[in-house]
Amino acid sequence: MKKKFTVVMKFGGSSVANVERIQNVARRIIDTKTTNNNVAVVVSAMGDTTDEFEELAFKLSKNPSTREMDMLMSTGEQISCALVAIAIEELGHKAISFTGNQVGILTDGEYSKAKIQTISGDCIKKAFAEGKIVIVAGFQGVDSKNEITTLGRGGSDLTAVALAKALDADVCEIFTDVTGIYTTDPRIVKDAKKLKEITFDEMLEMASLGAQVMQARSIEVAKRFNIPLHVRSSLSKEEGTMIVKKLEKIEDICVTGVTLNKNEVKITICAVPDKPGIAAQLFGEVSKAGVNVDLIVQNVSHTKQTDISFTAPKADLSKALDATRKVAAKIGAGDVLESSNIARVSIVGSGMRSHHGIAATMFKTLADNKINIDMISTSEISISCIINKEDAEKAVTVLHKAFELEK
């Protein structure tokens, strides 16, 4: 007999949001199982339950303990995995659901952002041998003290990738409510195209720049262990996008996609004394406050004073402002200004490594369309510009066209 394929299938919250969708998912899983595969399924919590749990907790306390939050948040996935197992059994197939703890997902002790250390997976292999479809609750594990932990928002993706590694799976399929990864957000640009494949690096860049199809950490893990991912729709059989190490093409195309992030704010600290150690103090303080600083710009100074601007996630604004004001007072700097009227538009592509003139094309396209650039940052495979929020959609549209991504 031919060796069985092992498939890990992950379904996000919207794919299991109600009874009909759970039944649809169950049929989809059975289809895969009956073509002689071992199937392990990872599910997220139904619809927006995780957000709802969080809201509930914050109605009771401004500062709920992280341990209790993980106890709470982990229950959503436990509900959906049992329901999917019930739906499969109702259709006449053998299934069994497990919590993270039961499949031996061992993590460190960092509540709400725990890292997976090992997965035993023994009970999954035993269930496979009994012909069962295995459904695993995503987003959770236990630490060495047997405390329940969660893996950070969107963490079911990580569970799926880690399971694929532990089971030596042939493919890890990520089912979602879109049909794959697009050149840009199809809600903004009508002729955005679905990509057949994209590299881990590009996908990582897109995820960190605001294209929220998969949790960034899960892509890092997939990259590290070279686990091919297939992002596809739970509602159609259409092939989605493969995320792979290297593209089959002989030469990289220069730009693969355009992303937009409107969830950042800009903070500027004016008239900073231009002397050694100032940036270290400022960003030391800001990082101690737990703020994830993104883009930093320091203006050239002719007067022994400079302005320093940085961007950070909107959610961190008040923490960032407090920390910055504290430093400003200490070092004798001027005003601290904030702006939420910003957007980050970025182009991403592995081919940037070997093509030149891409930045120039980007800047000229924005200029031709009277879009002012406020800050710029680059990585090996991306260029980002901070612009006014009102120009955001227009910028995405003109850049998508300039790099001929609709073709």
Q: Contact residues for ligand ASP (CB under 6 A)?
A: 12-13, 44-45, 50, 76, 138-139, 153-157
**138 binds, options Mg ion, ligand ASP, none, Cβ within 5 to 8 A by partner type:** ligand ASP
Q: Is-contact 308 318, C-beta < 8 A?
A: no
Choices 37-45, 194-202, 232-240, 302-310 (CB under 5 A): range interacting with Mg ion? 37-45
Residue closer to ligand ASP by CB (options 151, 312) is: 151
Residue closer to ligand ASP by CB (options 77, 205) is: 77
Q: Is-contact 48 13, C-beta < 8 A?
A: yes
Instruction: Tell me which residue of 85, 129, 123 sits closest to 104, measured CA to CA.
Output: 123
The token pair at 206 is 């897109």
Residue closer to ligand ASP by CB (options 100, 138) is: 138
Residue closer to Mg ion by CB (options 44, 256) is: 44
240 is a contact residue toward Mg ion (CB under 5 A): no
Residue closer to ligand ASP by CB (options 156, 346) is: 156
Residue closer to ligand ASP by CB (options 161, 387) is: 161
Q: Is-contact 41 32, C-beta < 8 A?
A: no
Instruction: Tell me which residue of 206, 317, 183, 199 sits closest to 261, measured CA to CA.
Output: 206
Q: Is-contact 352 377, C-beta < 8 A?
A: no
C-alpha to C-alpha distance for 334 and 62, rounded to whole angstroms:
33
Task: Give the residue, chosen from 6, 14, 15, 44, that forms a contact with Mg ion under the rule CB under 5 A.
Answer: 44
Distance of closest approach, residue 156 Cβ to Mg ion, in angstroms: 7
The residue type found at 251 is: E
C-alpha to C-alpha distance for 179 and 311, rounded to whole angstroms:
32
**HSE-CB of 286 using CA atoms within 13 angstroms:** 27
Residue closer to Mg ion by CB (options 154, 210) is: 154
The token pair at 126 is 């035993």
Q: Is-contact 244 197, C-beta < 8 A?
A: yes
Residue closer to ligand ASP by CB (options 44, 384) is: 44
Residue closer to Mg ion by CB (options 13, 210) is: 13
The residue type found at 106 is: L
Choices 42-50, 106-114, 175-183, 332-340 (CB under 5 A): range interacting with Mg ion? 42-50
C-alpha to C-alpha distance for 104 and 123, rounded to whole angstroms:
8
CA quadruple 276, 282, 285, 287: dihedral sign: negative
Cβ contacts of 249 within 8 Å, gap of 6 or more: none
Cβ contacts of 356 within 8 Å, gap of 6 or more: none
**156 binds, options ligand ASP, Mg ion, none, Cβ within 5 to 8 A by partner type:** ligand ASP
Can you list the positions of beta strands (E) in 5-121?
Answer: 5-11, 37-43, 95-98, 105-107, 116-119
**113 binds, options Mg ion, ligand ASP, none, Cβ within 5 to 8 A by partner type:** none
Task: Give the residue, chosen from 6, 8, 11, 13, that forms a contact with Mg ion under the rule CB under 5 A.
Answer: 13
C-alpha to C-alpha distance for 308 and 266, rounded to whole angstroms:
10
The token pair at 52 is 């709802």
Torsion over CA of 57, 62, 66 and 72, rounded to 10 degrees?
A: 0
User: Residues interacting with Mg ion, by CB under 5 A?
Assistant: 13, 44
